[in-house]
Each structure stands twice: as C-alpha cells, then as structure tokens.
Structure 1
Amino acid sequence: MMDAAVAERNLTLVNRDAVRDKTLRRFLIGDRVFKTITQVSAVTVLALLAGVIAALVHGSLPAWRAFGLDFLITEKWNPVTEKFGALAPIYGTIVTSTIAMVIGVPISLGIAIFLTEICPERLKRTIGTAIELLAGIPSIIYGIWGLFVFAPWFQSHVQPFLIDTFADVPVLNQLFAGPPYGIGMLTAGLILAIMVLPFITSITREVFDTVPPVLKEAAYGIGCTRWEVLRRVVIPFTRVGIIGGVMLGLGRALGETMAVTFVIGNAHKIFPSILAPGTTISAAIANEFTEATGDLYTASLIALGLILFFITFVVLAAARLMLMRLARQEGR
C-alpha cells in the first residue's frame, strides 16, 4: 500500500513538472515571438523614416544643385523663369506657428486648469466633450469657416481696430500695418490656435488629473491659495506632460495645410506686417505641386518638404533635450 501511494505521488509530481515545463516553454515561445514582433516594428519605423528622408533628399537634389544654400535665403519664387527660394514659406511657417502657440497655449492651459480645479462636476463632461469634438473637425472645415465667416468679420471689426490703435506706436505700427485684407498671416495664426487648442487642452487636462490628491490637500492644509497650489504643486509635477502637449500642438501647427491655405493669402512675399498675406511650406506644396511641370519646379517643392521635415525634427529634438534637462534637474 505504501509503495503504491509513493508511486502515485511520484507520478503526480512528474506530471506536475511536465505541465509546468510545458507552460514555461509556451511562455518562453510567446515572449520570443513578442520580442521579435516589437523589434521588427521598431526597425520598420526606422526604415520608413530613413526611406522618407532618402526620397526627399533624392527628389530635391536638382534644386540644391541649381541654387545651393541660397535656396534658403532667397525670397523670389518665379516658376516662369525657374527661380525659386524658400525664405518666404519658411518665414510664414515660423510666424503662423508662433502666433498659434502664443495664443493657443495660455488658453489651453487655462481651460485645462478650469476643468480640473474649478469647474463644477456637472459641467466637466459637457465642456470636456465639446473641447475634444474640436479635434475631430476636419481641417478643411476650419479653412472654409475661416475664409467665409471668420476672415470677413476679422476684416471689418478687428483689423481696422489694430491698425488704428498701433498707428503711432513704434515697431507695432509696422507689425500691424497695411490695408485690412481679412486674410493674412495673423488670420492663419488664429485659425491654427483654434486647431491646436483641443490637443493641448486634452493632454494637459489628463496630466493634471494624474497629480495625487494628497499633494494638493497637503498644500491647502498649510494655507496655500489655489494659485499657489497650481504654481508650486500641479504645474511642477506635470511640466513634462505639459511640454509634450505643447510640442504636439506645435507639430500640428507646423504641418497644417488646408486650413492655412484657405486664409493665409498664398503670396510668396515677406511683409513686416502680420496682417499681410503670406504662405507656408505646406500651403505652397499643396497649392503648386499639381502645377509643377518642370523637374526643377518639382524638385524645389520637394526641397520645401525636406526643409519642413528638418524644422519639425529640430523642434522635437529641442523638446527632447529640454525634457532630459528637466529630468536631470529633478534627479539633483
């Protein structure tokens, strides 16, 4: 009887070990498959990125051979004489994106702070949903609304006021000079600010919600005001996420095409006034790529795409360096 019991126990242990070994092998195979899939995905992304860069460089070579680095500092853009320069689109891209971020970032942060710290519970869902719906509106709808609704109102009410108000102020009288066209770089910047607002607001709101309540309660407990809690607790705790949201909005502003094309005026000129028409890299490519008949014309447009890629890369790299610096400071 004892021998049978021992034999049965040994058999049970053997079966258990076999099941465990089989399970471990299955897990090991699954881990290897998962690791291989992730590695292939990462390499595929890098390969696609390298392919995009190679295609842009190869396609833009005729323009670089013809104009050299003068392409970057030349304003003239004449398809008839095949004289091209990227300075005006670069200038327009930087100016409109700057306007969008200067206006959109404070408003987005204010909305996120209101929703997380001040807004009554019954209104949070409604306002939050409305903000998120703005992100789902196609850019061409923003462009049509900007051209037929916002630009006429802006031309009639806002631009004359800006021109008259700053007429006697040095520097600003140049920045807000000229006839009220309605369309222009300021109009495009305002439309971009509306477009980037839901992205920055949503991300900032989410990171604000990650702040542990005990930190805010402790700050209130020692007598801090709501503003002091936001400035000394919430914002320092979430600044990495805030910067990430701002960079996402800036990327959207730099690459936006259709909405800007409708309202910027599409003029390859550099004017000191932000009320004047202009163009951006993406708008120039969208407007003229189908009309580019010569090889040099096409290569110049592709070179604009390469420049936009480089600008975006520099912006993201700068944001990454900033985040790394903040992480080192937190470590100290």
Structure 2
Amino acid sequence: MRTLDSLSTTVPSAPDGPPDAPRPARQRRSPADLAFRGLLGGGGLVVLAVMLLVGGFLLLQAQRALDVAGWSFLTRQEWEPDAGAGHFGIAAVLTGTVLIALVAITFAVPLATGTALYISEYAPRRIKQTLISLVDLMAAVPSVVYGLWGAFLLTGNVVGLARWISTYFGWIPLFAVEGGDPRDPLASESVYTASTFIAGMVVAMMVTPVACSIMREVFSQAPAGEREGALALGATKWGMIRSVVLPFGRGGMIGGTMLGLGRALGETIAVVMIISPIFQIQPHILQLGSNSVSALIALRYGDATPIGISALFAAGLALFTMTLIVNFFASIVIARSRSGAASEA
C-alpha cells in the first residue's frame, strides 16, 4: 500500500507566451445607431450652449447697472435706478420671490403627494388614465387664467382664512398683520388682500401638476415583490405604502418639490394680477403688499430708461441663477431616485 510520502505531485509549468486575457468584445454599430448617438450628443450640446448664451447675454446687458450699484444691488430695497448708485437693489423683491415660492410649495407638496398616491395606489383602473390626463392638463392652463381665478374667486374666499390665521397665530411674526385688528369685527379686510399668502396659493395650483407627475411616476416604480411581501406579513394598505412606497419614492418627492420650487420662483403673470407691489422687505405673508423679481420685470420694463433696462436685466440674471441652481440640484436628486432606491424594512 502506497503511503502519502511516496506520492508526488507534479506542478504544471506555466505555458510560454503572454498570459491569458479576455478577448475584448467588439460591437459594430450600425450607421443608424451612430447617427442617433450623434443626434443625442448634439442636442445636449445645443441645450448647454443655449443656457450659456442666455446667461452671457443677461450678464452683458446687466453689466452697466452692476457697475453702478456694485454689491449694494443685493442689499438695497428701493428701486430707483434713475437716481444713481445706491438707489436700487433686489433685496425686497428677492425676499418676496422666495416667500411666495415657499408658500406655494407648502400648499403644493401635500396636495401633489396625496394626488400622486391616490392615482398610483387607490384609483380604479378605469379612471386612472383619466385622472392622469386631468392632472397633466392642469400644467397646460395659461398663467393668466390662474391669475383671473385667484383675483376674482380665490381672494374673496381666502380673506376669512387669512384673518383667522392672524387672529390665533398672529403671535408668530410670519403671520402678524400690521395696521389691522383681527379681533375687531368692523375692521376692514382689505389689509388681507393682495398678499404673499394669496399669491402663493395661486402659484401652488400651477406647481402641483409638475410635482405630482414626478411623484406618481416614482411611486408606480416601487418593487412589486416588496409590496406583496409587506401585505403578506399582515401590513395594511397604508402600512405598505408607508413602509415601501414612500421610502422608495423619497428621492422623487424631493426632486419634484425642488422642480416645483424652481417654477414657483419664476411665475409672473398670475403673481402680477394678485399682489400689490411694494419695495420693502415684507416678512408678513398675510398682509397687503408683496413683490417678486418676475413681477418687477413685467411691471417696469415698458417705461424703463436705459439704466433701468440694465437694472432689470441684472434682476433677471439673479433670478436666472437662482432657478438654475434649484433645477440643477433637483435633476441630481431625480436621477438618483431612478437608480432604484431601497425601501425600509
């Protein structure tokens, strides 16, 4: 019987020549694929070039006003470009723009989230496509129609709500109203009209379809296996949505909100028809008087002098930069959400 010591092993020698390596796979693209790829790349470059040209044009036209105003352009509240340096700036209108957009997002996000969840999770199949079409059609309604709706229908019905908020939450500076006593039944309600609050509600109706479409698309992509697993473990319908759908769609919710915010920052006609323009920082959203960069440009462009035109271009450059930053971060968040988020266990 042979022992282990008598057994010998022979190690094969390495073969001569270059080491083994996987052969690269060569893919021969057809002319149609090459043409389509070139078309897509060219389209992307055209979009980038257009954005750069728009930004460069605004900067060129705003250079005169920026040289006159300097950094005070970002801190001054009044708007008198013909009076010389130090008499015009966008501090007031920029604050109003942000406040109107935040009010709009405050109303739009819950409405968009609820609508998207109902369409993707609860709506019967026979009416789901109809609801999707109706929500998408809201984005096609002209801004002036929303402005008319807000000026002639919404304002008269929201003044009571604004007065109630001021009565019970006026101790919060944001909801305080100067020059009006909300507890006096004979006090005039005109102080609650043409406010940031009403303008924000109108803009919210214009922002909701954008945010809702993105949220609905992301919610519908939640993994079916995780949905069924949650229901099989005894979760209710809402429990499944809370533990699977909402965590999976968190990125889409954030992206839709930021895209809606980007649109809210630039709304013009509807805001012009609602607000009473003022050129001072107005932190009280329920009180008469507000302003925005887009409304400023629309109202002052017609009778502006050359220096005034340059100042309006500078205001447009600031708005362009702000919306570009918001939409850039929104696109990043949406791109990440499409890669397949993991839901919470």
Q: Is this a same-fold pair by TM over 0.5? A: yes
State yes or no: 1:284 paired with 2:285.
no
Q: 1:203 to 1:222 in 2, by over 3 A?
A: same
Q: Which runs of 5+ in 1 are unaligned?
A: 1-23
State yes or no: 1:195 paired with 2:206.
yes
Tell me which of 213, 220, 225 is aligned to 1:214. 225
Aligned length in residues = 303
- 2:196 and 2:275 in contact (8 A); partners too: yes
Tell me which of 93, 98, 103 is aligned to 2:102. 98
Code of the residue aligned with 1:112 in structure 2: it is: A
- 1:177 and 1:273 in contact (8 A); partners too: no
Deviations along 1:199-256, whole A, 9 cap, x unmatched?
Answer: 2112212221222322211111112233332222112222233233222211211111
CA distance in 1, matches of 2:179, 2:133: 39
- CA shift, 1:324, in A, is 7.8
Q: Matches of residues 232-311 of structure 1 in structure 2 within 5 Å?
A: 232-275=243-286, 276-293=288-305, 295-311=306-322
CA distance in 2, matches of 1:184, 1:144: 15
The percentage of counterpart residues that share the same residue type is 34
Measured on the aligned residues, the alpha-carbon RMSD in Å equals 2.6
Q: Matches of residues 313-328 of structure 1 in structure 2 within 5 Å?
A: 313-319=324-330
CA distance in 1, matches of 2:150, 2:217: 29
Corresponding residue SS for 2:191: coil
State yes or no: 1:53 paired with 2:55.
yes
Q: 1:306 to 1:226 in 2, by over 3 A?
A: same
Q: 1:31 to 1:118 in 2, by over 3 A?
A: closer
Match of 2:8 in 1: none
CA distance in 2, matches of 1:36, 1:325: 25
Code of the residue aligned with 2:79 in structure 1: it is: W
TM-score (norm 1): 0.82
Match of 1:71 in 2: 73
CA distance in 2, matches of 1:310, 1:172: 27
Code of the residue aligned with 1:57 in structure 2: it is: L
Q: 1:228 to 1:136 in 2, by over 3 A?
A: same
Q: Which runs of 5+ in 2 are unaligned?
A: 1-26, 181-189
- CA shift, 1:42, in A, is 2.1
TM-score (norm 2): 0.79
Corresponding residue SS for 1:180: helix
Q: 1:176 to 1:210 in 2, by over 3 A?
A: farther
CA distance in 2, matches of 1:322, 1:206: 14
Deviations along 1:161-210, whole A, 9 cap, x unmatched?
Answer: 2232234x353553687453421111111111111112211221222122
- 1:159 and 1:180 in contact (8 A); partners too: no
CA distance in 2, matches of 1:57, 1:175: 38
State yes or no: 1:35 paired with 2:47.
no
Match of 1:117 in 2: 121
CA distance in 2, matches of 1:38, 1:202: 24
Q: 1:222 to 1:76 in 2, by over 3 A?
A: same
Q: 1:133 to 1:126 in 2, by over 3 A?
A: same
CA distance in 2, matches of 1:41, 1:125: 31
Code of the residue aligned with 2:324 in structure 1: it is: F
Match of 1:161 in 2: 164
State yes or no: 1:138 paired with 2:142.
yes
- 2:297 and 2:312 in contact (8 A); partners too: yes
- CA shift, 1:86, in A, is 0.5
CA distance in 2, matches of 1:320, 1:269: 33
CA distance in 2, matches of 1:259, 1:230: 36
- CA shift, 1:329, in A, is 9.2
CA distance in 2, matches of 1:175, 1:228: 42
- CA shift, 1:322, in A, is 5.0
- 1:100 and 1:193 in contact (8 A); partners too: yes
CA distance in 1, matches of 2:135, 2:341: 34
- CA shift, 1:52, in A, is 0.7
Corresponding residue SS for 1:223: coil
Query: Could you tell which deviates more after superposition, 32-41 or 227-236?
Result: 32-41
Q: 1:33 to 1:202 in 2, by over 3 A?
A: closer
CA distance in 1, matches of 2:179, 2:237: 41
Code of the residue aligned with 2:264 in structure 1: it is: A
CA distance in 2, matches of 1:226, 1:144: 40
- CA shift, 1:277, in A, is 1.2
